[in-house]
Amino acid sequence: AERFYLAVSTTWGARREDMSAIEWPDYDGEVLIIHVSKHGPTNRNFVPEVLRPIFASYRGMPLTINGLTSMYRRIVAKAGLHLPTGYGWHSIRRTVETVILRDIVVAGLPPSWIADWMGWSKTSKVSRFIGAAMAGIYDHPEIFHDDPWGQQKEVIKVHSFLKVWAEVASQAPAAS
């Protein structure tokens, strides 16, 4: 459970409210649906190959918000970290936003893609990028007309946290 929720959090920057709403019909082996709680769209996310074994191996009951808070504290303790009061899943969300935005910009992709990746509402996307409805015009979604996951696959290629998950997976002992 810890690996599953940590993977969701470090990949899409999901809020704990959103993670608590994930049910197993929301994952079909390739796509994870995240029901965004803060006026955003329901996010259909292409699950990167490196995370699929983690997602396939966890079929527990969805956790409550308080259960997720307790889990976060356990993860931090297992990592040997001592975080000040106030740190939680949302701290990961803000870190993901910062790091992935940098990854996107360095790769020459439109910065506004971070809003789509993290499930921001159209209003938030517009107010953050350019301050006008023109933000969507600069995304050029038409370049992916033959692949509905094209934009997400481009972000996956540059996503720093997914590179860490791949490194961890490569060091894991082989299943017997």
Render each residue's pLDDT in the chain as its tens digit; 176 residues: 999 999 999 999 999 999 999 988 889 989 999 988 877 678 899 999 999 999 998 888 889 999 999 999 999 999 999 888 889 999 999 999 999 999 999 999 988 899 889 988 777 777 777 665 554 545 555 556 688 899 999 999 999 999 999 999 888 776 54
Burial label for 94, CB within 10 Å (0-12, 13-18, 19+), is exposed
Q: Give the Cα separation of 152 and 148 in Å (integer).
A: 9
- State how far Cα 162 lies from the chain centre: 10
SS3 154: helix
Q: Quote the CA–CA distance of 30 and 156 in Å, as a whole number.
A: 14
Give the C-alpha separation, 168 to 162, whole Å.
10
Rounded CA-CA distance 62/164 in Å is: 25
